[in-house]
């Protein structure tokens, strides 16, 4: 039987977190940091588009190629390579049964067993199955990929997660399904009977829209679209964050995070990390290697803030096979804490890496990937990539804007296609230069670049000006992107100014975010010059709203 506590003789779980929004790029990585890649030739490595290193000694590898072929190599424990046998191989073998399928996300447990979702939303499982973790209704080892259709046939799966011997999937409509080992309630059914086929996790999640899932060794986590975190399963190390050590057989909200909006959750061997929309990290659970980053080795059953200088965190990383944590800041700095090649690092340590993946390749034991690595081919430009390259190119442009004495080169036809304002304003304009004085050069350049790239590259402090422009031109998508960028630069000193801007430009999402930030940092915010100089009507509304949420109670 699998061990429940943090230390034991059993090999720990392995998991690749499917963070589709932040897939790592192999262009940025030295894949040689994972020794198993040395079994591939240089020609084979050139074709790699996605990769996952897993196994109790990082001795299994699955990767996809530019031709959507899937190759595997390694020890093949319990048939986890999906080749139909249990023979090890030091040469890449093609996984024919899945060739042509595009992988969206993939995760694995400690058997190991594999759960893979395609871009079409289909789910395939194979490998170890003693506890029905493959979801095929049996406990027979799965030597080849099995397409799960029971209860998922009309669903599109967008994220997968594995615990030691249980599996979770998230569907496009925000539902969570679970199956497999359930000795501690980790499938959320309310009992401790193993679950042989996918079953929807209900209870407190019944009417919630889930946006992110994760698994600890024998526990499960879900983040819903309101920013709340729900947890269930094993809790012997306090990894559920409920203030106790009792197991939880059905989803339960982490009440200690009240008023905090969580965006992502990541699970280590027996600890949990969450990332909030303010760029703050909280941790709880086992801490015998300092993996909570609190400066000591005491377990925590309540969420505890992790202090990483003053920079905003944009990515958290934890791997089910290790007691290691990592985070990346908005400024591109990568920190790690916890177990580091057998040593304990109890506070976030600044590394020389540019990627959290390198932390697990170089510091964690075993050296496995904590998420699916992915890279786009270099030799082919999509239409979108081609357009990006032509922005501000004087060699092909037929129009230029003069802003603050500087030119920005663009193409009339693209501006007309992408923006209603230009569709009318450029209709009768036969000139090749337009003077622009209403907005600053950085703001207007960011706006024009957005029309080419569908994204904005502007520091948060400049984004308020772009929000003004987006409101003026009625560019609703740009307005949403501006609000996301502005959020990343909020601090106690500018919170009132940003709240005022949000009200002025009717940016409701930003307004709600700034208000919550002010309430969460009320003592400091009320001592700033911005608060002292706040517009009378805004101050009146702020105090009224703050009173309604109980901000002034003792």
**pLDDT > 70? residue 14:** no
Q: What percent of the chain has pLDDT over 70?
A: 94
Residue 7: predicted pLDDT: 32
End-to-end CA distance of the chain: 50
pLDDT for res 515: 96
pLDDT, mean of residues 147-152? 95
Residue 5's pLDDT band, with cuts at 50, 70 and 90, is very low
Task: Provide the pLDDT for residue 457.
Answer: 84
Is residue 8 predicted with pLDDT exceeding 50? Answer: no
Yes or no: say if 342 and 324 are a contact pair by the CB < 8 Å rule: no
- Parts of the chain belonging to CATH 3.30.710.10: 383-548
CA distances from 136 to 154, 156, 182, 187, 313 (A): 17, 18, 16, 15, 39
Most confident of 163-167, 305-309, 453-457: 163-167
CA atoms within 13 A on the CB side of 184: 28
Average the pLDDT over 347-355 and give the result. Answer: 95
Contact 162, 214 (CB under 8 A): no
- pLDDT band at 23; cut points 50, 70, 90: very low
Residue with tokens 């973790």: 133
Q: Residue count of the chain, please give it.
A: 554
pLDDT on residue 380: 64
- Report how far Cα 389 is from the mean position of its chain's Cα atoms: 28
Q: What is the mean pLDDT of the chain?
A: 91
What SS3 class is residue 142? strand
476-487 helix and 495-504 helix, angle to the nearest 10 degrees:
170
Q: Is the pLDDT confidence value at 6 over 50?
A: no
Can you tell me the mean pLDDT for 348-376?
90
State mean pLDDT over 52-79.
Answer: 93
pLDDT digits (tens, 9 = 90+) for 185-203: 999 999 999 999 999 999 9
Pull the structure tokens for residue 520.
């969460």
Q: How far are the Cα atoms of 167, 191, 236 from residue 5, in angstroms, in the given order?
A: 19, 20, 7
* Strand pairing class (300-306; 229-233): unpaired
pLDDT at residue 20, rounded to an integer:
32
Res. 554 pLDDT band, cuts 50 70 90 = low
pLDDT at 375: 75
- pLDDT over 60 at 140, yes or no: yes
As given in the structure block, the two tokens for residue 62 are 């699955």
Could you say which DSSP state residue 110 is in?
S
CATH 2.130.10.30 residue window(s) in the chain: 20-374
The whole-angstrom separation of Cα 328 and Cα 312 is 9
Name the fold adopted by 20-374.
Answer: Methylamine Dehydrogenase; Chain H (2.130.10)
> Span 431-435, mean pLDDT?
90
Q: Using one digit for the tens of pLDDT, what is the confidence trace for 202-247?
A: 999 999 999 999 999 999 999 999 999 999 999 999 999 999 999 9
- Averaged pLDDT, 61-66: 94
Percent helix, strand and coil across the chain, each to the nearest 5 = 25, 30, 45
Flag the least confident range among 87-91, 152-156, 260-264, 363-367.
363-367
Distance from CA of residue 220 to its chain's centroid?
16
Which numeric CATH code is attached to 383-548? Answer: 3.30.710.10
Per-residue confidence band for 384, with pLDDT thresholds at 50, 70 and 90: confident
Q: Find, among 31, 55, 39, 182, the residue nearest to 114 by Cα.
A: 55
Going by pLDDT thresholds of 50, 70 and 90, the confidence category of residue 30 is low
Q: pTM here?
A: 0.82
**Within a 10 A sphere around the Cβ of 393, how many other Cβ atoms?**
12
Given pLDDT bands bounded at 50, 70 and 90, which one contains residue 27? Answer: very low
- 379 pLDDT band, cuts 50/70/90, is low
Average confidence (pLDDT) over 73-83? 96
Other C-beta atoms lying within 10 Å of the C-beta of residue 378: 8
Q: Which residue has the tokens 């925590």?
A: 300
Q: How far apart are CA 116 and CA 318, in angstroms?
A: 19
Q: Which whole-number Å values give the CA distances from 332 to 263, 462, 533, in the listed order?
A: 19, 19, 34
The pLDDT score that the predictor gives to residue 284 is 98
**Could you identify the residue written with the tokens 């500087």?**
406
Confidence at residue 461, expressed as pLDDT on a 0 to 100 scale: 84
Q: What is the pLDDT of residues 260-319, one digit of tens each?
A: 999 999 999 999 999 999 999 999 999 999 999 999 999 999 999 999 877 899 999 998
């Amino acid at each position: 039987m699998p061990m429940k506590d943090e230390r034991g003789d059993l090999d720990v779980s392995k998991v690749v977190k499917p963070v589709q929004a932040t897939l790592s790029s192999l262009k940025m990585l030295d894949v040689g940091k994972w020794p198993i890649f040395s079994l591939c030739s240089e020609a084979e490595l050139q074709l790699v588009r996605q990769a996952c290193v897993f196994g109790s000694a990082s001795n299994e590898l699955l990767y996809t190629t530019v031709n959507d072929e899937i190759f595997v190599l390694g020890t093949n424990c319990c048939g986890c390579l999906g080749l139909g046998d249990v023979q090890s191989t030091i040469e890449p073998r093609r996984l024919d049964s899945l060739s042509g399928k595009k992988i969206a996300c993939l995760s694995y447990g400690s058997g190991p067993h594999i759960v893979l979702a395609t871009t079409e939303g289909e789910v395939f499982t194979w490998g170890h199955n003693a506890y029905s973790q493959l979801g095929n209704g049996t406990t027979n080892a799965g030597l080849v990929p099995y397409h799960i259709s029971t209860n998922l046939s009309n669903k599109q799966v967008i994220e997968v997660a594995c615990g030691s011997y249980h599996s979770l999937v998230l569907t496009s409509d925000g539902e969570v399904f679970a199956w497999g080992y359930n000795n501690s309630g980790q499938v959320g059914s309310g009992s401790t009977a193993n679950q042989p086929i996918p079953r929807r996790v209900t209870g407190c999640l019944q009417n919630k829209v889930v946006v992110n899932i994760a698994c600890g060794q024998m526990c499960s986590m879900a983040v819903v679209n309101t920013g709340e975190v729900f947890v269930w399963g094993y809790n012997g190390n306090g990894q559920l964050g409920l203030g106790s050590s009792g197991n939880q057989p059905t989803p339960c909200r982490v009440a200690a995070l009240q008023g905090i909006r969580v965006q992502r959750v990541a699970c280590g061997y027996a600890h949990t990390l969450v990332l909030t929309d303010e760029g703050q990290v909280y941790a709880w659970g086992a801490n015998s290697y300092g993996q909570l980053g609190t400066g000591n080795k005491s377990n925590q059953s309540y969420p505890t803030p992790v202090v990483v200088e003053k920079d905003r965190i944009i990515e958290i990383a934890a791997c089910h096979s290790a007691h290691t944590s990592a985070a990346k800041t908005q400024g591109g700095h990568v920190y790690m804490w916890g177990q580091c090649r057998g040593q304990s690092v109890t506070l976030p340590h600044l590394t020389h890496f540019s990627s959290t993946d390198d932390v697990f390749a170089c510091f964690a034991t075993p050296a496995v990937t904590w998420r699916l690595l992915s890279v786009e081919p270099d030799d082919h430009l999509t239409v979108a990539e081609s357009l990006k390259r032509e922005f501000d190119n004087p060699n092909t442009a037929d129009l230029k804007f003069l802003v603050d004495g500087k030119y920005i080169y663009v193409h009339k036809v693209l501006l007309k296609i992408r923006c209603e304002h230009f569709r009318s304003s450029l209709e009768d304009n036969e000139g090749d230069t337009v003077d622009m004085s209403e907005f600053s050069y950085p703001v207007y350049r960011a706006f024009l670049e957005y029309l080419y790239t569908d994204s904005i590259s502007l520091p948060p402090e400049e984004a308020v000006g772009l929000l003004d422009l987006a409101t003026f031109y009625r560019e609703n998508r740009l307005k949403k992107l501006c609000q996301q960028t502005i959020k990343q630069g909020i601090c106690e000193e500018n919170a009132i100014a940003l709240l005022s801007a949000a009200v002025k430009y009717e940016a409701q999402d930003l307004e709600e975010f700034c208000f919550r930030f002010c309430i969460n940092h009320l003592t400091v915010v009320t001592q700033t010059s911005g608060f002292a100089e706040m517009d009378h009507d805004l101050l009146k509304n702020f105090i009224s709203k703050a009173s309604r949420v109980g901000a002034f109670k003792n």
